[in-house]
Amino acid sequence: MKQKQDYQVTLINKRDFAGQYFAFMSDASTIVIGSLLGTSPVTVFIESSTGIREGGRTGLTAITVAVYFFLAMFFTPLLASIPAWAVGPLLILVGVMMMKSVTEINWEDMREAISAFVTMILMPLTYSVAYGLIGGIGSYVVLHLWDWGEEGLVKLGFLKRKVEEEEEEEEEVGGEFDI
């Protein structure tokens, strides 16, 4: 039992698992297909990994969570009647807990930092998590577009790599200076 828990903790800390490519691709494809059909997002919930972390060893954990999600459908009208001012403090608390992950952002890389900042600032300004994510992902794509294009041109042979150009310049000058 202890070895299984150690493996699960290692699995979660390593953030890798067997078959992750297919898991992520199926998750992404259901989101795209669901949005094309006009439904709300169809996605995997984090409760599955929480169940693993807490020691769930079988699919019974996931089925139990699914039953609770099903029961939550009947309480939706009751939850919708809660006023926004009552939910605000909880959202602030969740935001504070999420700020812990800000330290993992590479603030030295401006492209990554700007994308993260745009995501964080747009969420409260637009009152929408979705708009914040769209802005952050969009800025990430725009900021990295040049690098991706340059990489593609290098692979096609239309451009030389910057390192190769610098080496050629050094050879023309006479190499590096030894002191």
Residue for token pair 């935001």 = 95
Per the structure block, which two tokens stand in for 25? 């691709």
Which candidate, 28, 68, 29, places its Cα nearest to that of 47?
68
Cα separations (Å) of 32 from 51, 109, 128, 136? Answer: 26, 30, 20, 19
Q: Summarize pLDDT for 53-91 with one digit per residue, the tens.
A: 777 777 788 788 889 888 988 988 888 898 888 888 888
Q: Give yes or no for a contact between 61 and 51, defined as CB atoms under 8 angstroms apart.
A: yes
Tell how far CA 116 is from the center of its chain: 11
Give the whole-angstrom CA distance, residue 102 versus residue 120. 10
SS3 129: helix
Coil vs helix vs strand at 14: helix
User: What does the alpha-carbon distance between residue 79 and residue 157 come to, in Å, rounded to a whole number?
Assistant: 59
2-14 confidence digits (pLDDT tens): 554 555 555 555 6
The DSSP result for 60-119, as a single string, is HHHHHHHHHHHHHHHTHHHHHTS-HHHHHHHHHHHHHHHGGGGGGS-TTSHHHHHHHHHH
116-161: pLDDT as tens digits: 999 999 988 988 888 889 999 999 999 988 888 888 888 888 777 7
Amino acid at residue number 80 = A
Quickly tell me which residue has 């079988």 as its tokens: 58
Give the whole-angstrom CA distance, residue 179 versus residue 170. Answer: 16
Q: Give the model confidence (pLDDT) of 92-105 as tens digits.
A: 888 888 888 888 89
Distance CA 81, CA 176 (A): 72
d(CA 74, CA 173) in angstroms, rounded, equals 76
